[in-house]
Structure 1
Amino acid sequence: MTSEEARANSPLSVASIVASMTAVALGNGVMSAYVPFVLTRSDSPSWAAGAAITAVAFGGLVGCVVAGPLIRRVGHARLFAASMALVILGALLIAIGVNPILWIIGRLLYGMAGNTNFIIAQSWLNHAASNEWRGKAMSFFYMAYVVGLGVGAFAFGQLPAEGNLAPLVTIFFTALAILPISLTRLPTPPAPASVSVDIKMAWRNSPVGFIGVLAAGGLSMMVQGFTPIYAAGNQVSQGEVALLMFVMQLGMLFIQYPLGALSDRMDRRLVLMFTCGLIAVMAVVALFASFAQLLLLMIVFAIWAGAVETVYSIANAHANDRTKPEDFVPLASTLLVAWSASATLVPLFVTLVTPVFGPKTFIYAAMAVAAAYGAFILMRLKGREAVPPDEREGFEMLSAQVPNATVITEPDDGRGDRGR
C-alpha cells in the first residue's frame, strides 16, 4: 500500500466530512434556538413556532425520500452544494424580518436540505472508512454533529435576538461547510440504495424496535423543538435559553452512552423500559420545576433529552439484532421513513392542541408517549426471548435529531451487508 493509499484509508481521510457537517450543525444550532425564541417573543400567531418545528420535520421526510434519486442524478458533491444553497435560501428568508409564513418556508427548506446533507455525508463516510474503524468514525461523526448543535445554540445566546445577525451567522457557517467537502480528494462513493419501505418485515422482525423508532421521532421533536418555545414563553432570557439548549445536547453524551453500553449486556427491552420510565419521571419533574430554579431545570431537561436520544439508538440496535443481513437495507429504509413521519405528525398534533391545553402540552404528550411505549415493551416481553449478547449488533451512539441512514448509504447492489 502506498503512503497516499494509507492516508486515504485512515481516520484522517474523513476529517473533511466531519468538518463540513460540524459547520452545518453550528448553523443549525443557532437557528434552532433563534427561530422559536423570536417567534414566541414577537407578535406572531401562537401556532407559528410549533409550525416551524413541524416544517423542519416534514422537510426532513421529503429529503429522506428524494436524496437517493437526486444523488444518482447529479452525484454527491453537486447535491451537497445544492442542498447547502437551500439552507442559505432558507436563512435568507428568515433574515428578511419576522414573517411567520416566510420563516416556516425557510425551516421547510432547511429540513429538506438537512436530511439530504446527512445522507450524503453518511454515504461518503461509509464508503471512505475501512471495516476496522468505521464504527468509531460514525460515533465520532454523530458526537461532533450533536456537540456542534449545542455549541451553535449556545452561540445564539451571545448574539442579539433583534435584527438578522443570527441568520447571517448561519449563512456564514453554511458557506464554510461547503469548502471541506468540495475540496476533498476522497473518491465519490457509489449511489446509495433506494428507500424501500417494508413495514410488515420491520414489524415481523422487531415490533419493539419499529415502535421505538416511531416513539423516538415524535419525542425528539417535542423535547428539542418545544423546549425553547416553553422557556421563551416563561420570559427566560435569551442567554439562559441558549444555555438550556446547549446542556440538553450534552445530556445525550452522558445519558445515552452508559445506557447503550448496558443494553449490550442485558435484554435491550429492559433498558428501553427503564429509559421510558426515566423520560416519564423527568417529564413530571419538568411540569413542577420552576424557572426560578434554572440550574435544577437544566439538569432535568438534560437528563430528559438524553433519555429520548437513548430510546432511538437502542431501538435501532434492537431492530438490527433481530434482522438478517439481507434485510438491513429495507429495515433501515423503513425505520428512516417511520422516524421522519413520526417527527412530522407528533409536533403537528401538539401544535394544534397547545392553544387548548396550554404551553405544557408537549410535556404531557412526551409523558404519554413514553408511558405507552413502556407498556408496549412490557407486553412484548412475555412473547419473545432476548437475543444472546454474542449474536447482537454492537450498540452505536445515534441521535434522534438526525436520520440514521448508514445502511441506506451502501451501494445499491442488493447486499446491504458491508461492514456488518
Structure 2
Amino acid sequence: MIQVLSSAWALLFGMCLLMVGNGMQGTLLGIRGQIEGFDTLMMSIVMSAYFVGFLGGSRLAPVMIQRVGHVRVFAALASLISAVMILYPTFPNIILWTIGRVLIGFCFSAVYVTAESWLNNAADNSNRGKALSLYMIVQTLGIVIAQALLLTADPSGFVLFVIPSILVSVAITPILLSISPTPAFGTTKPMSLRQLVGFSPLGAVGMFILGGIFSAQFGMSSVYGAEAGLSVAQISTFVATFFVGSVVLQYPIGWLSDRMDRRFLIIIVSLIGAAGSIMGMLLGHVFVLLLIAAFVIGGMANPLYSLLIAHTNDFLEHDDMAAASGGLLFLNGLGAILGPVITGWMMGTSLGPGGFYLFTAILFVLMVLYAAYRATRREGVSVDETGSYVPIAPTATSVAIGFAQEYIIESENEAAEEEEKAAENV
C-alpha cells in the first residue's frame, strides 16, 4: 500500500479533488434546482444528462486520446469542467443545465479514462490490487468530502459553485507535473451484446438494472432530499451515507463472493437492498432511519457492480474479458440514463418523494427474481474455479475494469504456476 501511495500519490490526490468537484456539483444542482423553481421531472432530465455524456465519453475518449495524447485530453477537458461549473449559477436555465450536465459527464468520463490509464501504467501485478482498492477509496472519499463542503456557504449563491470549479482546476496541477511517461493506450473491439448475453445473461441484465439503481442514488438523492424538505446539512449527510455504505460493505461482500455461489450472493445482496429501500419509503420521515436506508442501499448497490463483473468473468475465457467489459459498461450506461428520468416521474406522481425509494426497491426485486431464475437454468461455477472479486467503483470506466481483469488473469496464472511447482516438488 505504501509503495502504491509513494508512486502514485499525486495522481490519487488529484483524482480525489476531481471527485470532490463532481460530488459537489451533483448534489448542489439538486438543491439549487428547487431554489430556482424547477420541478422534479425537469431535474430528473438534468441528472440523466450526466449519464448520457458519461456514456458518450467512454466511447469517444479512446479515440481522442489516440489522436492528441493523454496530457492534452486531460488538461482540456478538466478545464472545460471547471468552466461549466461556473456557468450553472450564472445561467439558471433548465436547457443550459441539461447541456452542461452532458458536457460534465462527457468530460469526467474522458478524464477518468486518462487517469486510470496512468494508474495502470504506474502499477505492476505485485501492487495492482492495492492500487485499484486505493483508487476506489479515493473516489468515494472525494464524494463524501464534497457533501461536507456544501455546508460552507449558501446554495442560492455563487460560492458553492466556485469551490468545485477551483478544486478541479487545482487537481490538474499535481497530476500533470507528476506524470512522466505517457502510458500506452490500446482499444479492444467490444463483444456484441448478443454474445455477452449468451455468455452471462445475469451479468448483462443485472448491469442494466444496476445502472438504474446507481444513477438514482448518484443523481437523484439530492433531489429527493430537497423534495422531502430536508435541510442542506441533512441532504449532504444523506448523500454521503450512500457512499460510506459502499466502502464499508464492499470488502465483506467481496470476501463472501470468493467463497460461495455468486448468484446466491447476488440474490441475498439484492434482497437486503430491497428491504433498505422499503424502509426508506415507509419510515423515511425519521431521519436516522432514512440514513440507515441510504447506508444499506449504497452498501448493497455499489458492491453489486463488482460482483456482477466477477460473475460474468466466471463464464469467459481470459481473452474475452476485455471485450466483454465494453458491453457491460454500455448496458450499465443505458440503465443509468433511464434511472433518473423514471425516478423523477415516479416522484412527480402521488407517490411524492417516496417514489425515489419505490423505484430502487422495484429494481432490487427484479434483480432477485432474475438471479433466482438464472440459478434454475444452469449449474453454477464451482467456488474453486471462480475468478477473484476485485472492488471497482460504478464510476469506473472500461480502463479500470480492464485493469482489474488484468490483475485477475495475472493472479490466476501465478496461482497455477505455484500449484505446478508444488506438484513437481511432491
When normalised by structure 1's length, the TM-score is 0.92
1:1-400 equivalence runs, <5 A: 11-194=5-188, 196-291=190-285, 293-357=286-350, 358-400=352-394
1:355 CA displacement: 2.6
* Equivalent-residue separation in structure 2 for 1:12 and 1:217 (angstroms): 34
1:21 CA displacement: 0.9
* Cα 1:104/1:128, change in 2 over 3 Å: same
Would the aligned equivalents of 1:264 and 1:389 in 2 still touch at CA under 8 Å?
Answer: yes
The amino acid that maps onto 2:283 is A
* Cα 1:195/1:57, change in 2 over 3 Å: farther
**Identical positions, percent:** 25
* Equivalent-residue separation in structure 1 for 2:189 and 2:363 (angstroms): 27
* Equivalent-residue separation in structure 1 for 2:214 and 2:158 (angstroms): 28
* Cα 1:352/1:294, change in 2 over 3 Å: closer
Question: 1:3 corresponds to which residue?
Answer: none
Moved more, 258-267 or 349-358: 349-358
Would the aligned equivalents of 1:41 and 1:233 in 2 still touch at CA under 8 Å?
Answer: no
Would the aligned equivalents of 2:41 and 2:341 in 1 still touch at CA under 8 Å?
Answer: no
Q: Which whole-Å deviations, capped at 9, do the CAs of 1:128-167 have from their partners, x for residues lacking one?
A: 2011111110111011111111111221123211211111
Would the aligned equivalents of 2:58 and 2:398 in 1 still touch at CA under 8 Å?
Answer: no
The amino acid that maps onto 1:43 is G
Would the aligned equivalents of 1:256 and 1:309 in 2 still touch at CA under 8 Å?
Answer: yes
* Equivalent-residue separation in structure 2 for 1:96 and 1:106 (angstroms): 12
Q: Give 3-state SS (helix, strand or coil) of 1:187's partner.
A: coil
* Equivalent-residue separation in structure 1 for 2:137 and 2:112 (angstroms): 14
The amino acid that maps onto 2:256 is L
1:40 CA displacement: 2.1
* Equivalent-residue separation in structure 2 for 1:79 and 1:219 (angstroms): 30
Q: Which whole-Å deviations, capped at 9, do the CAs of 1:156-188 have from their partners, x for residues lacking one?
A: 123211211111001111001111221124311
1:197 CA displacement: 4.1
Q: Which whole-Å deviations, capped at 9, do the CAs of 1:19-77 have from their partners, x for residues lacking one?
A: 11111001111112100011023322332221121011101011011011001001111
The amino acid that maps onto 1:108 is V
* Cα 1:339/1:364, change in 2 over 3 Å: same
Q: Which whole-Å deviations, capped at 9, do the CAs of 1:288-337 have from their partners, x for residues lacking one?
A: 1143x212211221111111112211001111122111101210111111
1:97 CA displacement: 4.4
The amino acid that maps onto 2:343 is V
Q: Give 3-state SS (helix, strand or coil) of 2:399's partner.
A: coil
1:417 CA displacement: 6.1
1:419 CA displacement: 7.0
For structure 1, the residue ranges without an aligned partner over 5 or more in a row are 1-6, 411-415
The amino acid that maps onto 1:295 is V
For structure 2, the residue ranges without an aligned partner over 5 or more in a row are 413-426
* Equivalent-residue separation in structure 1 for 2:265 and 2:284 (angstroms): 30
Q: Give 3-state SS (helix, strand or coil) of 1:183's partner.
A: helix
Would the aligned equivalents of 2:392 and 2:401 in 1 still touch at CA under 8 Å?
Answer: no
The amino acid that maps onto 2:178 is T
1:348 CA displacement: 2.5
1:11 CA displacement: 4.7
- Count residues in correspondence: 407
The amino acid that maps onto 2:89 is A
* Equivalent-residue separation in structure 2 for 1:193 and 1:418 (angstroms): 20
RMSD of equivalent CA atoms: 2.1
Greater per-residue helix proportion: 2
Would the aligned equivalents of 1:89 and 1:106 in 2 still touch at CA under 8 Å?
Answer: no
The amino acid that maps onto 1:120 is T
